[in-house]
Structure 1
Amino acid sequence: MMRRIPTALIVAALALGASNQAIADTSGKRIALSNNYAGNSWRQAMLRSWDKVTSQAVEKGVVSAADAFTTAENQVTEQAAQIQNLILQGYDAIVINAASPEGLNGAVKEACDAGVTVVSFDGVVTEPCAWRIAVDFKQMGKDEVLYLADRLPDGGNLLEIRGLAGVFVDDEISAGIHDGVAETGKFKIVGSVHGNWAQDVAQKAVAGILPSLPEIAAVVTQGGDGYGAAQAFKAAGRPTPVIVMGNRHDELTWWKEQKDANNYETMSVSIAPGVSTLAFWVAQQVLDGQSVPKDLVVPFLRIDQDNLEENLATTEAGGVANVEYSLEDAKAVISAAGG
């Protein structure tokens, strides 16, 4: 279950806000979302969350615009050009889900030099002038292997399904998985494919590598790939291993079916797509003149055997288990980070 922001933190943040009123009015400010990829259910849920929360903020006059832009291809050069265009269009802040942590730094620096606030999330940037909102993706990957070490005390062979090649999130989760394998000493990664965080891509990739692999004890994933992996094993006529899921509705539905049929047991973990809404509110708070630390960390959303049904019931078909953030939640995150 998602570890919600503690009530005490929210109360403290609201008290702070009451005693330290905003020093800048954001009602005339325009915020843009620069997104590098929309080809899977997580990104679609992320965009829906952005639209839902920001449209309400625009309607209430918190900001005058909160437009979303997605590049046609996951290319650094294309997103850099997009950011430059947003600068020219006069946006006061740009929220970025970046194609590369370093590749966009030049465009980000241009934005900062032009007086534009830049907040990155999920795929964060390393340019010091920008704000960053992320989960500890490396720990998320490591936690998968630590779970498997308890679940499978005798260890075994692992198949790793990675995300989009060259993206910061993919590198970090994979590094955490490999750290976990080294630390536990129980597992061996015998195959690795890129599933692009999409079940159809993952299914095809796993189907292609399975004939060359020995018996697989478990599949470590990054999200959006668990259901595709399960279908590939089924089509190959191979026993279903423990597959770590990524909070997608199709994954949770399949897990529930297997749990009911034969007590299949696993866990599921991902960052909530609604982190885009936290990034929006952080940008709004920076524009409002508030003191916001440059690095903010939010917990990942983990689902276990005992709360599967509860989370599945609140996840829309075709979507991802999610949490959307309010202004009060954002203030609490900022306050907890020392802002």
Structure 2
Amino acid sequence: MFRFAKALAVAALGVSLFAAAPAVAEGLDEIPEATRKQVYDPNMLDPAQPVGPSAYRDFKAKRGPPWVIGYASSYAGNTWRAAVMDRLAKDILPKWQKLGLVKDVIVTQSNLNDSVQIQQMRQLVDQGVDAIIVCCSNPTALNQTVKYAYERGVPVFSLTGYLTSPYSINSSVNYQLAGYEIGKWMAEEIGKKGNVLVVEGIPGTSGSDSQNRGVLAGLAAYPDVKVVGSIAGMWTDQVAQGEVQKWLATNPGQLDGIAVQSAAEMGVLRALQQSGRDMIPITIGGELGANCYWRQNPDYISSAFHVWPPGDDMELIWNIMMRTLQGQGPKIQSVLVPPIKFTVEDVKKELKEDCDPNSADWFHVGPKAWGAEDYLDQFFLRPADPTQYKP
């Protein structure tokens, strides 16, 4: 713990200090201690992550099922978003329609424009949706619109990242914890000394900023590891590839590793391969193309991390939403899960040796490993199997 605290004080890296550890927050004190220690340790939690009592503890839907759901997505331009939509359209929606609990999902896209997303959310409320899911958005820009929805009986659920509104319900991995584990792993992977390039996601979004803060803290825990550059990969392979290529071309010095936020690892791999440099370690997440490269080069790195399996992330927030609409009463504002570390042996179980290194598909761990039913039960006052709901 001392090493972690010392790492956070390294001002030269531009790492924001964590807030002092608070007492267990109201609402969070109702979560079992083992889960709090695993996922909500205040020393490993983004200080802006909302963990107070949920505004929906006694919520009752304004009408019964089948419900109409709005999905106000902020971006559609990467493989992760495509995988989210694939799970939603092919698996989740048909399942819940068959159960008679959902009528339809209305999808909008704002292309990273907060004003457009706000307008789309208000239109969804005015059209009469029963709940809204948003994805990976600015943590504060939507707050007034979330309140607008709340006042009209429409709860808002934030997928993969948090909103700071007291009227939103958030779900994700603990990104700061995940980033810290990734930063430590990278430092260990390069022998606890050397130069590292950091590739962020989309700066300004909570998932990217929280994870980046953790990565920098994990790297800073090793005094002989130096961050020599930081660029935005925008969670998009093509963008990350171009940005890393430009950085490598203008920074010919020693580079020992690249800490990259998925979904951009395939782009970073391609940039390295085309640069003519040695294939130094990079952090790998769930993109199957990158996992295929690892499958075919099993000594490349020692392990990797699942931080946001897209289909499982959508299923996680969906199950939280359905429970809330059914009146189960979420205890707190943010339902977090721990990151999952995996090895090449796990990859070998999923991919054959002749796999496609250009695959745009994703590695999923499955809902039972990413917010299982008994795990979610801990976060509700009146937990029940949401598929068995009878209005």
TM-score normalised to structure 1 length: 0.85
Q: 1:336 aligns with which of 344, 356, 378?
A: 378
Q: 2:300 aligns with which of 250, 264, 275?
A: 264
Instruction: State the match for 1:171 in structure 2.
Output: 209
String of CA shifts for 1:94-131, please: whole Å, max 9, x gaps.
11114201000011010001111111120321110111
Q: What is the CA–CA distance in structure 2 between the aligned matches of 1:151 and 1:275, rounded to whole Å?
A: 28
Instruction: State the match for 1:322 in structure 2.
Output: 364
Per-residue deviation, 1:325: 3.5
Q: 1:112 aligns with which of 150, 159, 168?
A: 150
Answer 1 or 2: which has greater helix percent.
Answer: 1
**Where do 1:44-123 residues align within 5 Å?**
44-51=82-89, 52-71=91-110, 73-123=111-161
**Cα gap change, 1:330 to 1:238, in 2 (>3 Å):** closer
Q: What is the CA–CA distance in structure 2 between the aligned matches of 1:184 and 1:110, rounded to whole Å?
A: 46
**Where do 1:1-339 residues align within 5 Å?**
26-51=64-89, 52-71=91-110, 73-213=111-251, 214-259=253-298, 263-269=299-305, 270-273=307-310, 274-293=312-331, 294-312=333-351, 317-325=359-367, 331-337=373-379, 339=381
Over aligned residues, Cα RMSD in angstroms? 2.3
- 1:163 alignment partner AA: G
Aligned-partner SS, 1:175: helix
- 2:376 alignment partner AA: I
Aligned-partner SS, 1:94: strand
**Is the 2:295–2:344 Cα contact (8 Å) retained in structure 1?**
no
Instruction: State the match for 2:3 in structure 1.
Output: none
Q: What is the CA–CA distance in structure 1 between the aligned matches of 2:203 and 2:117, rounded to whole Å?
A: 16
Q: What is the CA–CA distance in structure 1 between the aligned matches of 2:169 and 2:303, rounded to whole Å?
A: 31
Instruction: State the match for 2:385 in structure 1.
Output: none
**Cα gap change, 1:40 to 1:203, in 2 (>3 Å):** same
Per-residue deviation, 1:49: 1.2
| Unaligned runs of at least 5 residues, structure 2 | 1-34, 36-59, 382-391
> When the two structures are aligned, how many residues end up with a matched partner?
312
Per-residue deviation, 1:36: 0.5
- 2:228 alignment partner AA: V
Identical-pair percentage: 24
**Is the 1:58–1:66 Cα contact (8 Å) retained in structure 2?**
no
| Unaligned runs of at least 5 residues, structure 1 | 1-8, 10-22
Per-residue deviation, 1:309: 1.2
Per-residue deviation, 1:30: 1.6
**Is the 2:186–2:219 Cα contact (8 Å) retained in structure 1?**
no
Per-residue deviation, 1:338: 5.3
Aligned-partner SS, 1:320: coil
Point out the more displaced range, 108-117 or 160-169: 160-169
**Is the 2:70–2:107 Cα contact (8 Å) retained in structure 1?**
yes
Per-residue deviation, 1:301: 3.8
TM-score normalised to structure 2 length: 0.74
